[in-house]
Structure 1
């Protein structure tokens, strides 16, 4: 039942939620009431599917289910640019407490308003689970730079659930996304003025890094466009080779890449190989996670995490 509750909070399509007999109807109603102010139409669709499932299986149905569905009959779908608060539950290693994050996003927007950063993409979810649950990512005492932060999920997760991280520099090249970040931080009880956080616009190839002590770079879904790969690799190259004014050199980068276009990804890997030839770094594709709590659409392509390690 907790798994179904997590899926509801993440707005998994009702056709993808695996319903079971002997559902805790009170718990489902409780979760739907939490969601209703943000997306009443989704709640209506869940109840329609759930009641039909229970009826077909001869299960007794709580009267409150019918009453709530009656209340929601006039609910209409959100328009594509409307936002809602979506909750993501990151499962942790056995014996540890699950980690929850809230993000206000426009989940139906792909490239509306000139940006792809108004929704949380699967590579950000995957990178978040990876950084929080593997021993390969040594972030103890690290000053972390996130590139192309979008909704800010990765950085917020590091702040809340990776206490040994020293500082997180959250950046994006889109001013609108930078302006949206404080509200997402507040949703997760993260103080915007915390000395452990900085938020700034960063245009690759133009702006200097926001902190001289950055030693780790993280980024998700920043390799989809071949036109920006030179600037991305150039930034990583400079961060690992140029010691300006006593600054720290970056020693690790973790880049989550969704395999959408093999040609673009091959170009990315060819650029990484130039850094190998120059003996600046080595790179590897990390082993996939063996577990996870976040739901991914069945159509989600393979997601790879590239670790770039300074020689």
Structure 2
């Protein structure tokens, strides 16, 4: 039942939701009431599927289920530019409570208003799970810079669920996304004025890094466009080589890249090799990971995590 709840909150397509017998109908109704004001059409589709499933199994169905379905019959699909609050489970370890981050986004919008940062991409979720898993990554007492934060999922999860992180500098080159971030922080009860957080616009190659004590860089899905790769590598190069005014040199960078275009990733890797030739860093692709209980679309391409380590 908990798996169904996670899938509903993440708006897993109705056709992909896995149903089981002996569903707690009261709990389902309570959950649908929570999310129907965000997306009543989605709730209608799920409830139609559930009722047909239960009827097919010969199970008794609460009258309240039919009443709720009747109330939702007139629901219409959201406009692609409309927002809704999506809840992402960023950790579902057996025996532990689920760790959830809420994001107000436009989940049906692939690209709009000149940005792809209006929705959460799978690489952000994957990187978040990697960074929260101390078996893979040690971030104790680190000051982290996130590049191209988008909806802010990675940084918000680190703030809430990695208490030993010293500070998180959230950045993006898009002013609209920066303006949207305080709303998502509030959804997750993260105080905007916290000394552990800073939010700033960072245009690679032009703006200075927002904090002199950054020692770790993280980023997800920022390697999709070959035209920005030199600037991206330039930021990492500068952060690992220039020590101005007593600033700390970055020691690690973790970049999650979705494999959409092998040619673009080859360009990215060639640029990384330049840092190896200059004896600035070494880099590696981390072993693929599997996180039980987390849903990814079947069509999700391979996601690689590049770790860049200062020599």
The TM-score with structure 2 as length reference comes to 0.98
Residue 171 of structure 2: aligned partner: 171
Residue 75 of structure 2: aligned partner: 75
- Match of 1:291, SS state, is coil
- List per-residue Cα deviations over 1:241-264 (Å, max 9, x = no partner): 010111000000000000000000
- Greater alpha carbon shift after TM alignment, 141-150 vs 280-289: 280-289
Judge conservation of contact 1:92–1:132 (CA < 8 Å) in 2. Answer: no
In the TM superposition, 1:141-160 aligns within 5 A as 141-160=141-160
- List per-residue Cα deviations over 1:19-73 (Å, max 9, x = no partner): 1111111111111111011111110000111111111221211111100000011
- Match of 2:214, SS state, is coil
Give 1:310 shift: 0.3
Judge conservation of contact 1:241–1:249 (CA < 8 Å) in 2. Answer: yes
Residue 209 of structure 1: aligned partner: 209
Give the Cα separation in 2 of the matches to 1:85 and 1:269.
36
Give the Cα separation in 1 of the matches to 2:146 and 2:99.
20
- Match of 2:75, SS state, is coil
- Match of 2:308, SS state, is strand
Residue 129 of structure 1: aligned partner: 129
In the TM superposition, 1:278-297 aligns within 5 A as 278-297=278-297
The TM-score with structure 1 as length reference comes to 0.98
Give the Cα separation in 2 of the matches to 1:236 and 1:78.
40
Give the Cα separation in 1 of the matches to 2:208 and 2:278.
23
Give the Cα separation in 2 of the matches to 1:93 and 1:144.
25
Judge conservation of contact 1:215–1:252 (CA < 8 Å) in 2. Answer: yes
- Match of 2:127, SS state, is helix
- Match of 1:5, SS state, is helix
Judge conservation of contact 2:141–2:165 (CA < 8 Å) in 1. Answer: yes
Residue 29 of structure 2: aligned partner: 29
Give the Cα separation in 1 of the matches to 2:25 and 2:130.
33
Give 1:97 shift: 2.8
Residue 272 of structure 2: aligned partner: 272
Judge conservation of contact 2:259–2:265 (CA < 8 Å) in 1. Answer: yes
Residue 59 of structure 1: aligned partner: 59
List alignment gaps of at least 5 residues for structure 1: none
Give 1:96 shift: 3.4
Judge conservation of contact 1:93–1:133 (CA < 8 Å) in 2. Answer: no
Residue 139 of structure 2: aligned partner: 139
Give the Cα separation in 1 of the matches to 2:93 and 2:42.
31
Judge conservation of contact 1:125–1:294 (CA < 8 Å) in 2. Answer: no
Residue 101 of structure 1: aligned partner: 101
In the TM superposition, 1:214-233 aligns within 5 A as 214-233=214-233
- Match of 2:245, SS state, is helix
- List per-residue Cα deviations over 1:147-181 (Å, max 9, x = no partner): 00000000000000000000000000000000000
- Greater alpha carbon shift after TM alignment, 283-292 vs 4-13: 283-292
List alignment gaps of at least 5 residues for structure 2: none
Give the Cα separation in 1 of the matches to 2:206 and 2:232.
11
Residue 3 of structure 2: aligned partner: 3
Residue 116 of structure 2: aligned partner: 116
Judge conservation of contact 1:151–1:177 (CA < 8 Å) in 2. Answer: yes
| Aligned-residue RMSD, C-alpha | 1.0
Give 1:92 shift: 4.6
- List per-residue Cα deviations over 1:64-92 (Å, max 9, x = no partner): 11000000111111000000000011225
Alignment partner of 1:253 is 2:253: yes
Judge conservation of contact 1:92–1:133 (CA < 8 Å) in 2. Answer: no
- Match of 1:186, SS state, is helix
- Match of 1:300, SS state, is coil
Number of positions where the alignment pairs a residue of Structure 1 with one of Structure 2: 311
